[in-house]
């Protein structure tokens, strides 16, 4: 999952980003409305988490402009304002969720996961290919009912392949979905992760190489 996080309190922003990355998500961190616009123009995000008040203005102003332009990225607003009127205003303008500071990190993570699923109405919580199950709610993978421990980036790559459901995923798609702008992955990092996933998932092989296009999850027998 790729997330745009806008928060001008450095320690809080870094703490949220650290927890999200530990779960295999890619997180782009910004601290102003100007940066939000720049990043949204350059990439697709599964969820946006925006502090209500940023140094250059109120996120509601930007949110309203996004909705008027038919941008439907799920947005969660963070705010120190705890009045019901403020929360109602945010939801009416187009926010999908609203969380008052201070908050429990686990609650924030749960709300982000809910918004990500809401943003993809055709996506099941558990994605299945043959006897492989990818549980996007628990971040767990099982094959034939056996839990397979994966590193965060391995899980992120496998989840993307499962979401695409037998369609080819390019190297660029993998890097955009699984790494953010602060990370500098090695040139062959996706090959290393794919090799590790194949080894851990075992036989028969489900991750297929699509020459000239990338990789896909498919249980069809190769000829």
State the pLDDT at residue 221. Answer: 61
What mean pLDDT comes out for the span 200-205? 92
Helices (runs of H) and strands (runs of E) counted in the chain: 8, 13
Assess whether pLDDT exceeds 70 at residue 182.
no
State the pLDDT at residue 90. Answer: 74
Is residue 72 located within the same domain as residue 152? Answer: no
Average pLDDT over all residues of the chain: 85
Per the rule left: phi > 0, alpha: psi between -120 and 50, beta: everything else, 127 is beta
Number of separate domains in the chain: 2
Tokens of 171: 């190297």
Return the bridge partners of 217, or none. Answer: 207
Assess whether pLDDT exceeds 70 at residue 222.
no
Return the bridge partners of 99, or none. Answer: 78
Is residue 143 located within the same domain as residue 89? Answer: no
What mean pLDDT comes out for the span 199-211? 92
State the pLDDT at residue 223. Answer: 40
pLDDT digits (tens, 9 = 90+) for 70-127: 788 899 999 887 777 777 777 778 888 988 888 999 999 989 988 887 655 444 568 8
Report the C-alpha gap between 132 and 205 in whole angstroms: 11
Assess whether pLDDT exceeds 80 at residue 11.
yes
Domain assignment of residue 52, given as a range = 2-119
In a domain, 106, yes or no: yes
Report the C-alpha gap between 159 and 161 in whole angstroms: 5
Is residue 201 located within the same domain as residue 96? Answer: no
């Amino acid at each position: 999952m790729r997330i745009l996080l806008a928060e001008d309190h450095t320690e809080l922003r870094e703490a949220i980003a650290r927890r999200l990355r530990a779960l295999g998500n890619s997180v782009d961190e910004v601290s102003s409305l100007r940066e939000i616009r720049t990043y949204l123009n350059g990439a697709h995000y599964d969820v946006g988490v925006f502090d209500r008040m940023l140094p250059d203005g109120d996120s509601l102003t930007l949110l309203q402009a996004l909705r008027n332009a038919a941008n439907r990225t799920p947005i969660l607003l963070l705010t120190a304002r705890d009045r019901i009127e403020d929360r109602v205003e945010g939801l009416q303008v187009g926010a999908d969720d609203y969380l008052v500071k201070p908050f429990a990190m686990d609650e924030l993570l749960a709300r982000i996961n809910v918004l990500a699923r809401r943003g993809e109405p055709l996506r099941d919580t558990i994605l299945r290919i043959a006897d492989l199950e990818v549980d996007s709610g628990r971040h767990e993978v099982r094959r034939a009912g056996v839990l397979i421990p994966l590193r965060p980036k391995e899980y992120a790559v496998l989840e993307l392949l499962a979401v695409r459901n037998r369609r080819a995923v390019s190297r660029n798609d993998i890097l955009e979905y699984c790494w953010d702008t602060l990370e500098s992955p090695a040139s062959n990092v996706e090959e290393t992760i794919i090799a590790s996933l194949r080894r851990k998932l075992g036989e028969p092989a489900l991750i297929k190489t699509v020459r000239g296009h990338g990789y896909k999850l498919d249980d069809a027998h190769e000829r």
